[in-house]
Amino acid sequence: MDDRRVPPGSQSSAPPSTPAGAIPTVAWRSASPDGLPGSLEFIDQTRLPQSSVLVRCDDAEAVRSAIQRLVVRGAPAIGVAGAYGLVVGTQGAAAQSAEQFAAVLKGVAERLRSSRPTAVNLAWAVDRCVAAVAGIAAPRDVVRRLLAEAVAIHAEDEAACAAMGRYGATLLREGGTYLTHCNTGRLAATGIGTAFGVFVTAKAMGLRPTVYVGEVRPLLQGARLTAFELRERGIDGFLMPDSAAGSLLRTGAIEAVFVGADRIAANGDSANKIGTYPLAELARANGVPFYVVAPTTTIDASIADGSSIPIESRGADEVRGIGGVRTAPDGFPVHNPAFDVTPAHLISGIVTERGIARAPYAQSLRQPPVSLR
């Protein structure tokens, strides 16, 4: 990876993952000093920006439902939620026999792992936690270890966001104007975010970025969440209809496009929110650099290229209406893929917490970590 050095002094002004007074994206709460028993809390992203409401999950099905309904969403955030979800789903079974407990853990892991298919971070986090307890016999010890692993994944995600922000900010210039897609901020990760974290870091460094974002139909993550976060962070920005991106890119006003990813194949093909691929084509057609920003937990080395990435198909009513108001004929057939795949040849660079990978990605994504100081 391209070991771009971080501008001196930029780390001392590291922005907080959660702005003061805001409800965190994911939080583990317990009255006990060792963290057990505990419950998992989310800010309910389905209610933003109208209301900031907290949701508490005390069993695995509640966590699964929160992930499926996009109460908690974004690839890194659902990975962290899945890891804590294993603790929520098994802590009540700690008094059972080792065999009974193992069956509970297996079932909970399967339910959480399958709650959303595209973001590999979820399956990765669940599998990492399950692997961490292999060989531990006593259920209480297993639950303790699951919590420790979830806490570690949470901390690593926050640190990865900060590092991606620092690497990504080296691609920005003072007063530049950028385009992003969907929501990749602190609501999509447990740190400052992936692509959005680049803007947060740049702002903290005094680079004064301006950020355009489309609404992102059908669930409006751009309008509801990214516009909310731009305001929360005091970053200048414009909300636009998704269909305005092409003409905007053609004006030459956009310096670069920064997006996140839900799964990156070994060759660099990257799945992200539906509408990312057309942005990449439009960026290429207009000579605008197109960057993917994602932690290495989003890389799925077992998949050779994007054609094997599972794409989630969501419910028809998300497209037939907005906010409960029907905007299409009752029962009209709907095509609603939640993600698309941007081919690697359209991607100018993949910013990870280890550095900026450049084509050919089959080699650069495999390279050992670059140290970030």
> Contact positions toward ligand MRU, by CB under 6 A?
70, 73-76, 119, 182, 184, 188-189, 194, 221, 260-262, 272-273, 338
CB of 16 to ligand MRU, least distance (A): 18
Neighbours of 321 (CB within 10 A): 13
Question: What are the beta bridge partners of residue 357?
Answer: 350
What distance in Å separates the CA atoms of residue 242 and residue 234, rounded to the nearest whole number? 23
Cβ-based neighbours of 243, under 8 Å, separated by 6 or more? none
Nearest CB to ligand MRU, comparing residues 130 and 261: 261
CB of 28 to ligand MRU, least distance (A): 20
Is 343 in a helix, a strand, or coil? Answer: coil
Distant-in-sequence, close-in-space partners of 233: CB < 8 Å, separation ≥ 6 = 15, 19, 185, 199, 200, 203
Least CB distance to ligand MRU at residue 136 (A): 31
Token pair in block for residue 243: 């269909």
DSSP string, 26-50: EEEE-SSTT--S-EEEEE-TTSTTT
Q: Please report how close the Cβ of residue 228 comes to ligand MRU at its closest, in angstroms.
A: 13
Contact between 348 and 289 (Cβ < 8 Å): yes
Active site residues: 262
Query: Shortest CA distance to 291 belongs to which of 207, 169, 204, 124?
Result: 169
Which residue has the closest beta carbon to ligand MRU?
260
Distances (CA, A) of 333 to 46, 167, 316: 24, 44, 7
- Min. distance of Cβ 345 from ligand MRU in angstroms? 20
With respect to ligand MRU, which residue has the nearer C-beta, 70 or 132? Answer: 70
- Helix axis angle for 195-204 and 139-169, nearest 10°, is 60
Phi-psi region for residue 266, left (φ > 0), alpha (ψ -120 to 50) or beta? alpha
Q: How many helices (H) and strands (E) does the chain have?
A: 11, 16
Q: CA 121 to CA 347: how far, in whole Å?
A: 21
Min CB(193)–ligand MRU separation in Å = 6
